[in-house]
Structure 1
Amino acid sequence: MMSRIIHQRKKCIGCSYCVEIAPAFWKMNERDGRCDLIGSDGRNGQFILEIFEDELRLNQRVSELCPAKCIRIE
């Protein structure tokens, strides 16, 4: 079963916890100091990436630690 990471990028404060925890999924955007969800599709201000079950736990941790609460897993 696939899950989705949903990133509300405008709410990102650029703390880079996501990049430190899961660098295969997240990178810092040097232009505006916010983090990007690598390989995601942008829709209505949200960036969405489907992930496999074995990638879920790592990204749940990212979601839990995000101080801006701009990352959620569905």
Structure 2
Amino acid sequence: MPKIIHYRDKCIGCGICFEMQPELWRMSRKDGKAVLLGAEEKRETDVLTVNKLLLQEAKIVAAACPVKIIKTVN
């Protein structure tokens, strides 16, 4: 299954992911970092299983991330 992986501890809170794909991302009011909605936390990373359509959109988001902390897995 396709997955989105987010290394939240390295997030700088720029908000690009939320702006580009608001159905999957929110910005935390607590620390200003991005939150991958519905993700399961695994060893300091957030992992979300998605369908192929969301994965294609997430690849664009991952490429736009200035610190490259969003990864996609087919």
TM-score, L = length of structure 1: 0.95
**Equivalent residues in 2 for 1:41-56 (5 A)?**
41-56=40-55
Partner of 1:14: 13
Paired residue secondary structure (1:49): strand
Q: For 2:32 and 2:67, how far apart are their aligned partners in 1?
A: 14
Give unpaired runs (5+ residues) of structure 1.
none
- Quick one: percent identity of the two aligned structures? 36
CA deviation after TM superposition for structure 1 residue 57, in Å = 1.4
Does residue 69 in structure 1 map to residue 60 in structure 2? no
Where do 4+ consecutive residues of structure 1 move more than 3 Å?
none
49-58 or 34-43, which moves further after superposition?
A: 49-58
1:70 partner letter: I
TM-score, L = length of structure 2: 0.95
RMSD: 0.6
Partner of 2:22: 23
Paired residue secondary structure (1:19): helix
Partner of 1:34: 33
Paired residue secondary structure (2:3): strand
Q: For 2:25 and 2:53, how far apart are their aligned partners in 1?
A: 17
1:57 partner letter: Q
1:42 partner letter: E
